[in-house]
Amino acid sequence: MMDEIVKDLAAHAPNTTWEQPTIFEASNPTDQTKLRQLVDEGRVQHFYDRVDLAAGELYDIQFPQEKDVPEAEKSQFADFRRQFTVEYGAYAYFPWSGTLLHLPDVAALRSLRTSRNRNLILAEEQQKLYGATILVAGLSVGSNIVEALVSMGIGGTFILADMDIIEPSNLNRIRAPYAHVGHHKADAVAMRMSEIDPYVQFHLYRDGLSQESLLEILDTYKPDIIIDEMDQLKLKVAMREEARSRGIAVLSAADDGDSTIMDIERYDLNPEYPLFHGLIEQRVLDRILTDETIPRQQLGMAIGRYFIGPENIPLRMYQSLQAVGQTLPSWPQLGSAAAQSGIAVAYSSYRILTGQPLRQGRYVIGPEAVLDPSIDDPAYQQEWRKYVDMLQAFNL
């Protein structure tokens, strides 16, 4: 009996593929006709209309001096509120869930979403941020980065590239319900972000990046910033070569135990800036680009030696890496470090896009160095140094 129940349920499983939400202008007769058809076809499963809650906040944004005045005493509120009818703003339809949402137009929604940013982010800066195009390659830690960017109003167009689906073990880093296990990472991230701001444009590369698709993206969309969260070393190198030749900044944040390793490469300011800050010898980069036979174990060592840095890896991570393939199926990653990576990249993106000073180089960002007293213990330092020396002795 249970087999039949599950079979019937599976036949009515929801759509798991993202599509750009359809926006209907509420006062446009043509859009009203299209929306009527959508409803008549039974494609709207859920409807939400709380633009009434937007009225008060939009009024306070326009008349901040009356923020604490009772509503009945606000000088222009009665007239202001009259615009919030069924023909106000827009209706956004999300095809993957059958949800229709009545919301303010793009300018009003973004004013609401970023009103608490002011004046930490100036109005003219916020306009620049919303106008940015951003490529994010890799959507585990990258999903946290996209969420941090969208929450700050950074990026009006995103190109998301990843080849993988969400697996149960990803849920400590990807903010998604268990029901989204099996969804493609790019679809899941785009769905979540579209529901936060349906005016943001997404372009998905569900096969991940290749040399060909990288060039296509750079030529077609001309991103202002590239965010590298990939595991493929060859593409990491090729991406930076292309970014340097085109003058595009590259940001990368790798979760590393409780910390984040943050790489900031300002090819937008200095086309002569060395790949990976000059921390990786050219012979190593050449081998990564040309040698297809590097053993998997050596690639793992290469990531630690060259792309993270032996001195940046905490003791417990070293100990954990020793256990991979024995008592651990893969290297450990923490959701807190992934969230921290999102914060670091969002901050860096904001500074780059608004032309503010930003250090370039590789940095360790995290609470451990400040809050963990054990790292100063001689026994800790002795054992940690043993691992550091071992990894520094590795050569690809």
Q: In this structure, what are the phi and psi dihedrals at residue 269, rounded to the nearest 5 degrees? A: -100, -30
The mean pLDDT of 269-281, rounded to a whole number, is: 95
Q: What is the pLDDT of residues 17-26, one digit of tens each?
A: 999 999 999 9
Mean pLDDT of 266-271: 96
Predicted pLDDT at 223: 98
Indicate the range of 73-77, 241-245, 264-268 predicted with least confidence.
73-77
Percent of the chain surpassing pLDDT 70: 99
Q: Which residues of 77-105 are buried (b: 16+ CB within 10 A; e: fewer)?
A: beebbeebeeebbbbbbbebebbbbbbbb
Q: 3-state DSSP: the chain helix, strand, coil percent, rounded to 5?
A: 50, 15, 35
Could you give the 3-state DSSP secondary structure of residue 203?
Answer: strand
More confident residue, 331 or 46: 46
* pLDDT at residue number 291: 86
Helix (H) or strand (E) holding 130: helix 123-130
The model's confidence at residue 294, banded by pLDDT at 50, 70 and 90, is confident
What pLDDT, on the 0 to 100 scale, is given for residue 39?
96
The structural domains of the chain, ordered by start, are 13-113 (no CATH), 123-284+333-367 (3.40.50.720)
pLDDT band at 95; cut points 50, 70, 90: very high
pLDDT bracket for residue 293 (50, 70, 90) = confident
Confidence at residue 365, expressed as pLDDT on a 0 to 100 scale: 94
pLDDT value at residue 310: 95
pLDDT at 161 over 80: yes
pLDDT of residue 246: 97
Q: What is the mean pLDDT of residues 150-173?
A: 96
228 near 236, Cβ under 8 Å? Answer: yes
Query: What pLDDT score does 173 carry?
Result: 92
User: Is the pLDDT assigned to residue 261 strictly greater than 80?
Assistant: yes
The reported pTM is: 0.94
Predicted pLDDT of residue 349: 98
Q: What is the pLDDT of residue 3?
A: 78
Average pLDDT of the chain is: 94
